[in-house]
Amino acid sequence: MSVADRLVVCASHSPGMMRDVEHVLGRSFRSGLEQVRGMVEEFDPDVIVLFGGDHRRTFRQVVPSFAVALSAGIMAEAGREAGELRVPADRARALADHLLGSGFDITVCRDIELDHAFAQPLHDLTAGLGVYPVIPVAINCATAPLPRPERVLEFGAEVGRFLDGIGDRVLVIGTGGLSHSPPSLEVDTHDMSDAERARIIAAGYAAAEQKIKPEWDKAFLDALSSWDATSLTELATVAHEQAGAGANEVRTWLAAGAAGGGKPFECIAYEPVQKWITGMGVAVSGR
């Protein structure tokens, strides 16, 4: 199996988008997602490898830089019900063994509850959480210290080497970014209650609407379009300072692109949506 049998999709996520049930905002971005969803349906993957971050809800006291889930569910959030992921345990375990054997001291997780970082791309790009088998791969993008972008690229490339040998058509997803700075991630803490999180978000939401950085987003998407690994690494290194705490999530894009063989991406849509406090982008590689 080769990278020709791999489709890579990177897309932003936002709870604000989930709450916008009437689809009032972000119409250009939503149109791009629909286009990419058609690509996914045509590709019809055997399995999805989903690189996602965390918003300090799943990983609190213990925060792994890289983790592979052998079983996982989705927590109820933003009006959506909880659900289960179809994690192929043998495949996920084989990936974990491969990574460990290749020098990545990853964490293995069982029966964890993941949030919208993993749920939203599955809802946006497929017909639901359980349509395809999914291997969730978590990358710490929220709680310092974060893995270096260079190491994230190496990690993604090693996942790609594993995928080369499994004989499946694989959809690789990276989810998060682009520029945004959620108030709850601006607070340097490893743990907070849901009530405290809601209070902090409400107090800082208006300010967060003004923190989208389209110039940084464009620079990142331009580097992605030629798979300029040097520029991507440099931009990810300064993401927090230049594009907000949530921009650290582009580490998942780096991992996904590397797992797809480091091929250039096509930007399908980009739209800064203030009410979602995020620069919303979707890009594909390998089609």
Residues catalogued as catalytic: 116, 180
> Which two structure tokens, joined as six digits, stand for 44?
């019809």
Question: What's the half-sphere exposure (Cβ side, CA atoms, 13 Å) at 194?
Answer: 7
Helices 149-164, 89-101: inter-axial angle, 10-degree rounding: 120
> Which two structure tokens, joined as six digits, stand for 193?
């209650």
Instruction: Encode 13-38: b = buried (16+ Cβ within 10 Å), e = exposed.
Output: bbbbbbebeeeebbeebbebbeebbe
Alpha helices for 22-148 (secondary structure H): 27-43, 89-101, 116-125
Name the amino acid, one letter, at 170.
V
Is the CB of residue 162 less than 8 Å from the CB of residue 95?
Answer: yes
d(Cα 183, Cα 14) in Å, to the nearest integer? 13
